[in-house]
Amino acid sequence: MAGTPQQGLVIGITGLMGSGKTAAAEYLAAEHGFSHIRYSHVLADWFKEDPERKAELQVVGWDVMSSGQQAELNKRLISKITSGKDWVVEGLRHRLDYDSLKNAFASSFHLIYIDSPQQARWARLQRIARFRTTDEFLAADSHPVEQQIPALRQFAELCITSSDPLQNLYQPLSQFVASLRKGNQ
């Protein structure tokens, strides 16, 4: 069963930076009525950081992860997910993120992994001026906080290889949501 009457669907989205996580989450919110929450925004709220300052959040995220505070981050995120709605959670980075959401929401929780080649991710992030140089991107891409993301792929119920345009993500996302909702009836 995909969800319960008390708890709607909770879909986690993971993938490396620039893979299309935000586009996928925004699509689920706009087209399928999901409420959208991002790990980065919970982290920013917790530490009073600007959620748009990604480099600083990456450092704070690593401090949280490496100091054993990932469980607290998950607790804070989960407390914001209200019952009776469908939710999309963007930005799982750690096995504990997956385990925490799976334990909290059981069969209502489903993980999507978005895969994208490094060159495509760099090109997308260049278009939004996230990094000035390839070296900046490569340094951020190889930061320790990003290194555990690929291991989450094994837990995903749906793996999508993203390509340009990112709208190519939409059909598999819609089919996945339709199948989950059908199984929930």
The secondary structure of 29-50 as a DSSP string is HHHH--EEEEHHHHHHHHHT--
Per-residue pLDDT of the chain (185 residues; tens, 9 = 90+): 344 446 799 999 999 999 999 999 999 999 999 999 999 999 999 998 887 888 788 888 989 999 999 999 999 999 999 999 999 999 999 999 999 999 999 999 999 999 999 999 999 998 888 888 999 999 999 999 899 999 999 999 999 998 777 888 999 999 999 999 998 65
Cβ neighbours for 111, distance < 8 A, ≥ 6 positions apart: 11, 12, 13, 14, 92, 98, 101, 152, 155, 156, 157, 158
pTM of the model: 0.92
Q: What pLDDT, on a 0 to 100 scale, did the predictor assign at position 51?
A: 79
CA-wise closest residue to 74 among 111, 28, 36, 43:
43
Cα gap 147→164, rounded to integer Å = 24
CA distance 83 to 127: 37
- Position of tokens 């009073």? 48
d(CA 15, CA 79): 23
Give the pLDDT of residue 162.
Answer: 84
